[in-house]
Chains A and B, each alone.
Chain A
Amino acid sequence: MSKTILEVTDLRKHYRQGRGLASMLTGEARVIPAVDGVSFYLRENETVGLVGESGCGKTTIGRTVLRLTDPTGGSIVFDGRDITALSRAELRPLRREMQMIFQDLDAGLNPAMRVRAILREALTVYERPSDAEIASRIRELLEQVNLKESKLANFPAELSGGEKRRVGIARVLAVRPRLIVADEPTSALDISIQAQVVNLLRDLQKHLGLSYLFISHDLPVVELVSEKVAVMYLGRIVEMGLAEDIAHRPRHPYTQILWSSLADKQSTEVSRRTRQETVERERRAWGVFDFEHPAGGCRFAPRCPLYEQKGRPAVCTDPASEPRLRDVGRGHVVACHFA
């Protein structure tokens, strides 16, 4: 039974969007609840996938969990230690254990530094290795990420997408982390390179015992690499469970739409049922969640086909009854009144 390396409880991250100097003085501002009460846990050597569309808050969760930005509420427990309110100084030694692979391929790669310098800097953040040790560690890192030695003398601008991703991973591995938050590690890469990176990440997990929070919108890849998957919509987890259950037996209407959009792209014979649903969806006006005047109740109601089908039941829009995650067996939880 592996222990829990990360436990997140009721995490909230609200952004205040002020309107310039005036709002600063009056204290009046718009609050955007990017992450609004998220709970999950991650075990050692395990991968939890986080999926959702843009704006759902998955990237924000990644950054908040690593304390790159401070949470507005809730708690984060890393390896048994509550890190929610630790100061920067107290956090510093823990930083090396939890790292992030950023979505942007250029993140962390200073355009004016050659790859060798970038890796050397990463190696000297927490330790003081000798020159010989640095050289041998660099060689080790290159081997781990499958990067040619000739690339050491290059600047980031001269590297291909896949190579940049690998240097980014090597840089993060240099500090010997235990938890890695991978934020869209494969987007912006070619398909054949994506496969290489996915294989690499799984390899590294096997050999180094890493734990991953895998954030991505690429559903098949998430299903492949994760043990558990959480589906997010507008700052909340709407469904969570074993990867297989989420992919093949989704219960929340949003999850169903997400996975079926995959099928839509591929199918050459669109079934009559899905075609009808599509047509109905188009006819409906776009429901957009307005953060300034939240309608209350289920956030997905404006777009929910189930809501329409059941004749717009009041419980879905009742502010007092926002759906909570219910257990439907095998650790599979869903936040919907009708799932």
Chain B
Amino acid sequence: MDALLAIENLRTYFYSRAKRAFIRSVDGASLSVARGETLGIVGESGSGKTVTALSAAGLVTAAPGVIGGRIELRSNGIARNLLDGLERYVRVEEADGHVVSVEKNEPGWRRRVEALMAGVRGKEIAMIFQNPRAALNPYSTVGSQLVETIRLHTGAKGEREAKERAIHWLERVRIDSPRLRFDNFPFGMSGGMCQRAMIAMALSAEPSLLIADEPTTGLDATIQSRIVELLAELKAETRTATLLISHDISVIQRLSDRVAVMYGGTVVETGGTAEVLAREASERHPYTQALLASIPSAETIRRKSYLQAIEGEVLDTIEVPRGCRFYGRCNRVTEGVRERCAGAEPPLAEIAPGHKVRCWLYPARS
């Protein structure tokens, strides 16, 4: 498989002192991004999608943080595990299928991550964040931040060459009057423009993988569509592999080749975008189906009917139930599978080439 990034069984936990319990943000997630492909991660709050991305970029700093798994990055012919050596810094005790205690040498692990990610972060893996103005340095002009990135991560070391490249990138992200905007500070630019600048910064390093965390959230409707257009164009031009995280399904639909749906810290479905996100598809994870049904469709609006809301609250990753994580809210449970749903977590099973679902209604055939 020509996977650029392969995340296997990632576990990232946090600890709540108030409740003296683990927050199982990512609890065994596996996904992969192939070269040149865009993988969209869909999920609601608590699904673990952002934490997965942060774990891949080595940006998780709260304790205990990443406690298990493997993240393999294959680029320029080298394959490396970004979590290499984790076992030496972490000791996990489990009982009854649940983690009971974690011992972690956080400072040691931090140092190791920095060593592992040196030369990777910014260069091979670039990231753009949700709130553009907050992610840019407010004291430095957009131009100088771009130049800094270019000089650091690409072959263009000279000041003039870097500046030309920077302006070229500003043009590519369709910022008007790029030579003038070069000297603008973030506070003088609108949200949409800051987002474009951040995209320019990320792509100017010509990374193998772009991680985009909610790139359109918080922007106005018309600006959102423009950013989406821009990302679509850049995707076609640069063929950079992308990990796109969003709770906005229409954005995912527009930009992703494949989709992974996350719930409660695990991946519950993965497959081609058209297959997974089509409204009328039948063979699908109940959560994906219910999620899509809660968005008003043309039909629902025409009939002014009630939305099909999913019962109950989104899973609180502190109190993780025994069996399937979606069992409490699932509306497709049948008597035949109820016992299994309540008792054990289903494995990811392939129901069609490239389409996997984690549900007892589709048990693994092996």
Contact = CB atoms under 8 A, between A and B. Distances in A.
Direct contact of A and B (CB under 8 A): yes
B307 interface: yes
A220 B295 contact: yes
A265 B220 contact: no
A163 B295 contact: no
Contact of A265 (B228, B290, B308): B228
A191 B250 contact: no
Residue from A192, A199, A281, A282 whose CB has the most chain B CB atoms within 10 Å: A192
A190 interface: yes
A266 B314 contact: no
Interface string B236-267: 00000000000111110110000000000000
B304 interface: yes
B306 A202 contact: yes
Nearest to B232: A270
A264 B313 contact: no
A220 B249 CA distance: 13
Contacts of B310: 192, 195-196
B291 A53 contact: no
Contacts of B251: 265
B45 A161 contact: yes
B304 A224 contact: yes
Contacts of A130: none
A63 to B, nearest CB: 20
A224 B254 contact: no
Contact of A194 (B222, B225, B294, B316): B294
Contacts of A221: 296
A191 B249 contact: yes
B236 to A, nearest CB: 12
A285 interface: yes
A258 B222 contact: yes
B309 interface: yes
A53 B218 CA distance: 11
Given A192-B290, A220-B295, A266 B250 contact: yes
Nearest to A161: B45
Given A220-B301, A267-B254, A192 B44 contact: yes
Interface in B20-47: 44-45
Given A192-B291, A202-B306, A262-B250, A224 B44 contact: no
A126 B153 CA distance: 65
Given A192-B291, A220-B295, A223-B296, A282 B253 contact: no
A190 B250 contact: no
A220 B45 contact: no
Given A195-B307, A223-B301, A265-B254, A286 B222 contact: no
Interface residues on A, range: 35 or more
Contacts of B304: 224
A138 to B, nearest CB: 21
Given A196-B309, A220-B296, A278-B229, A258 B221 contact: yes
B304 to A, nearest CB: 7
Interface string A187-215: 00011111110110010000000000000
Nearest to B248: A265
Interface residues of B, number: 37
B295 A262 contact: no
B307 A162 contact: no
Interface string A263-288: 01111101000000010011011100
A12 interface: no
Nearest to B44: A190
B176 interface: yes
B67 to A, nearest CB: 25
A264 B295 CA distance: 17
Nearest to B230: A282
Contacts, number: 103
Given A53-B220, A265-B228, A267-B254, A285 B296 contact: no
Interface string B169-205: 0000010110000000000001000000000000000
Given A192-B294, A202-B306, A257 B45 contact: no
B294 A191 contact: yes
Looking at B44, B176, B254, B309, which has the most chain A CB atoms within 10 Å of its CB?
B309
A261 interface: yes
A202 B296 CA distance: 14
Contacts of A161: 45
Interface string B207-225: 0000000000000111011
A285 B175 CA distance: 9
A224 B308 CA distance: 13
Given A190-B44, A195-B294, A224-B300, A53 B253 contact: no
Contacts of B250: 262, 265-266
Contacts of B45: 161, 190
Contacts of B295: 191, 195, 220
B220 A54 contact: yes
A110 interface: no
Contacts of A13: none
Nearest to A157: B18
Contacts of A260: 225
A63 B84 CA distance: 56
Interface string A158-176: 0011110000000000000
A261 B253 contact: no
Given A161-B45, A220-B296, A268-B253, A282 B309 contact: no
Interface string B291-335: 100111000110010111110011010000000000000000000
A53 B313 contact: no
Given A223-B296, A224-B301, A264-B254, 13 more contacts: A191-B295, A195-B295, A198-B309, A220-B296, A258-B222, A264-B225, A264-B228, A265-B224, A265-B225, A268-B253, A268-B254, A282-B174, A286-B190
6 contacts: A191-B295, A193-B314, A195-B307, A195-B309, A265-B251, A282-B226
Q: Rank and list the top 8 A-B pairs by shortest CB-CB distance, nearest first.
A: A195-B294, A261-B225, A190-B44, A195-B309, A264-B225, A265-B250, A195-B307, A53-B220
Interface of B: 44-45, 174, 176-177, 190, 220-222, 224-226, 228-229, 247-251, 253-254, 290-291, 294-296, 300-301, 304, 306-310, 313-314, 316
Interface of A: 53-54, 160-163, 190-196, 198-199, 202, 217, 219-221, 223-224, 247, 257-258, 260-262, 264-268, 270, 278, 281-282, 284-286
